[in-house]
Amino acid sequence: LCPTAPTDSGCPPPLAPQAMLRSSQPLTGPNRKRCREDEVLLGTVLDEGERGFIIDTRSAQAAKQARMTGGGTEPKSSYPQWRRLHRPLERGRQLQESFIKLVDACNDTTINMDRWLNRLESCRWLSHVKAALSTACLAAQCMDREEANVLVHGAEGTDTTLLVTALAQVILDPSCRTLAGFQGLLEREWIEAGHPFHLRCAHSAYSHARLKQEAPLFLLFLDCVWQLSRQFPFSLEFSERLLLTLFDNAYASAYGTFLCNNEKERCLCKVKENTHSLWAWLNQPGERQKYLNPLYSPNALVIWPSVEPQSIQLWQGLFFRWIRSSQYLDEAWAEIQWLVEGSEPPKDSAGNRLSRSLSDPTARPENAR
C-alpha cells in the first residue's frame, strides 16, 4: 500500500456530507515524486466542483525543507481542487521544553507578582494552547462553514495531526462530547491512530533526562478540551476530573489502554490479553458518576470557542494541583451538584421526609415545618 495513504477520520455531524481526513506527509521528496494512487484517493473524496483544504501543521518553510529528506507537500498541480493552509503547531522538543518551563514556573515560590506573567509568557504554553485551538477551529470551520473536506497532516501524522482532528471533532460533534463518545474519540484518534504514547509520555516534566521523543501532545489536547469545558460549561458530559485522570494514566497506569506506541506493538505485547482496560474501570456505574459534569445538557450545535488571549486560561486544576488546595472549588462543585441533582442535601428536605413517610405507612409524618 502507498505509505502515504490517508485514513478516514472523524464522523462529522450527520447533516454534513464532509469528511475529515488525516494522514502523514506526502513523500514528494526533492525530485517532486508523484503518486497516482494518492492523487486518485484524494480526488475521490471530492465531488465535481467541490473544494478541499489541506491543513499542514508545519510552517511553509519546514514543509519545504522536508523535501530534502524525502518528504514534502502536495503540489498544487497534482491536487488541483485542494487548497493548502499552513498552521505551524509546536511539537517535539520545543513542546516538552515549554511544558517543563511551565511546571518550573508554577512551582517557583519565589517569583514576585512583578515577574509572574513574564515567566508565564516565556513558557509559551498558553500560546501553544491558542494555536492548537485555532487550528482545530479552522478545520472545523472549513467543514461546517465552508462545507469543504479537510485533510490534516503534519510530518508523521501521529502528533499534531491527531491533536487537530480530535479537537475538531469535539468542537463539531456533540456525540464526541458525551462520556462514551469522548472515550470512543480517544480510542480512534489517539490510540488506534498510533500516537506513540510510550515514547511521548515517558517521564513528564520533572525528569532531568530530556528524552528526544518525549512531548506532551496528549496533555496539550486535554488542556484544549479543558478550555472548551470552561467556555461551554454545559456542553461536555464529563468533568475536569476525567481529564486529570486521563493525564495521570497516559504517563503511568494500572491499565493497558495507553501502553505501547501503536496497534502493532499492542498486538505483539498481547496487551488486550494481559491487561485491563481503563475504560472498563471508568465505566462502572459507581465510578462513572465521579466523572460526570452536573451541568451537562446535550447541545446539538457546534461549539465555537473564543481563542482570544483573555479567553484562554492557565489550567490551574492541573498545574497547581499539588500546590494549592482545591478545597474551595471542590466545595463549589459539590454545591452545584447538590443544586442540580438534589442529592445529599445538608438539611432534611421535604422530599426526604415525604419519601420516608411513604415507605413506612405506619410512621407519623413529621410536621411540615
C-alpha cell at 66: 522536508
C-alpha cell read off for 154: 503534519
Site for another protein in 197-256 (CB under 8 A): 230-235
Give alpha helix (H) positions in the chain: 36-45, 60-65, 92-107, 113-123, 125-144, 160-172, 179-186, 197-200, 217-231, 240-251, 263-269, 271-274, 278-282, 285-288, 316-319, 327-341, 350-359
Could you say which of 91, 124, 195, 200 contacts another protein (CB under 8 A)?
124
Restricting to residues 143-162, name those near another protein by CB under 8 A.
Answer: 145-146
Q: Which stretch binds another protein (CB under 8 A): 69-77, 204-212, 239-247, 297-305?
A: 297-305
Closest approach of another protein to the CB of residue 105, in Å = 9
141 interacts with another protein by CB under 8 A: yes
- The interface with another protein within residues 308-347 (CB under 8 A) comprises 308-314, 316, 319-320, 323-324, 328-329, 331-332, 335-336, 339-340, 342, 346
Q: How far is the CB of 305 from another protein (least distance, A)?
A: 9
Beta carbon nearer to another protein, 68 or 329? 329
246, three cell numbers: 486521563
Q: Hunting for cell 516538552 — which residue is that?
A: 96
Output 70 or 365, the one with its CB closest to another protein. 365
Report in angstroms the alpha-carbon separations of 12 from 151, 170, 194, 218, 292. 13, 10, 21, 22, 24
Q: With contact defined as beta carbons under 8 Å apart, do 22 and 6 qualify?
A: yes
Figure out which of the listed residues 63, 106, 170, 222 binds another protein, where binding follows CB under 8 A.
106
Q: Which of 31, 44, 109, 284 binds another protein (CB under 8 A)?
A: 109
Among positions 27, 85, 202, 318, the unique one binding another protein when judged by CB under 8 A: 85
User: How many residues appear in the chain?
Assistant: 369
CB of 25 to another protein, least distance (A): 20
